[in-house]
Amino acid sequence: MTRAAVPGLPSPHPIGELLPALFADDDFAQRFTAGLDTVLAPVFATLDNLPAYFGPRLAPADFLEWLATWVAVDVDPAWPEEVRRTMVGRAMELHRWRGTRRGLVERLRLVLGAGAEIADGGGVSWSTVPGAALPPAGGGEVLVRVWPLSGADLDAEQVLTVVRAGCPVHLTYRVEILPGPPGLPGRAEG
């Protein structure tokens, strides 16, 4: 998409019509201002549609990448355009859940169309008494089981890239790519 000169794009505000009556019948003045109208028509079209540029569903594809930088979303140009638009549109929600089980599952579903099951060994406790015992140290490893939701095979490198981006840096992770959801009849757990 380009916002440069578009052949045949009419100007909503032709300059020739705004000239004083003296120049209304002047052929040179009308041709000269028509040339300016050709240059200014895309500018007017962009300004008239400016609110659409800030909505990820309507923004031009080349503007979407810049919009992604506004909301701190790393979009991969290899992702389909619809996935990039969804990631930018849901940026605030995804940032809120970043580093959590829910955030990683949602990111895998949005980006790869994959279901996920995540098991971690983390521990949490709380107490109303100061100096209470800390939870036992977890293994620090996250097991991410991923399977395709649409039937297409998942690319292991893409899965690792998404998990790497969504998993907290202080944890190690192990990824298993399954042919279907765990616990299906006739499927051996391993």
Pick the CATH number of 97-124+136-182 from 3.40.1350, 1.20.1440, 3.30.300, 3.30.70: 3.30.300
* pTM flag (> 0.85): no
What digits encode the pLDDT tens for the residues 149-175?
Answer: 987 889 999 999 999 988 888 788 899
Q: Residue 135 has what DSSP assignment?
A: P
Q: What percentage of the chain carries pLDDT values higher than 90?
A: 37
Which pLDDT score, from 0 to 100, does residue 25 have?
Answer: 87
Beta strands, E only, 62-132: 114-120
- Break the chain into its structural domains and give their ranges: 15-48, 97-124+136-182
Which pLDDT score, from 0 to 100, does residue 5 have?
Answer: 62
pLDDT of residue 11 exceeding 90, the answer is no
Q: Which residue has the tokens 């209304």?
A: 24
pLDDT category at 70 given cuts 50, 70, 90 is very high
Segment 85-96 mean pLDDT = 94
**CA 175 to CA 160: how far, in whole Å?**
7
Q: Which residue has the tokens 């998409």?
A: 1
Instruction: Determine how β-strand 172-177 pairs with β-strand 141-148.
Output: parallel
What digits encode the pLDDT tens for the residues 103-129?
Answer: 999 999 999 999 999 987 666 667 788
**CA 116 to CA 9: how far, in whole Å?**
49
Specify whether the CB–CB gap between 146 and 176 falls below 8 A: yes
> Among 33-42, 64-73, 90-99, which stretch is predicted with the lowest mean pLDDT?
33-42
**CA 95 to CA 73: how far, in whole Å?**
9
What digits encode the pLDDT tens for the residues 128-150?
Answer: 888 887 766 666 788 999 999 98
Segment 34-40 mean pLDDT = 87
Which pLDDT score, from 0 to 100, does residue 18 have?
Answer: 87
pLDDT of residue 89 exceeding 80, the answer is yes
Which pLDDT score, from 0 to 100, does residue 185 have?
Answer: 54
Which pLDDT score, from 0 to 100, does residue 122 have?
Answer: 63
Which pLDDT score, from 0 to 100, does residue 190 have?
Answer: 42
Q: How many residues does the chain have?
A: 190
Positive or negative torsion for Cα 162, 164, 168, 174: positive
**CA 168 to CA 87: how far, in whole Å?**
19
Computed over every residue of the chain, the mean pLDDT equals 85
Which strands make up the sheet holding 141-148, listed edge to edge?
114-120, 141-148, 172-177
Segment 41-51 mean pLDDT = 86
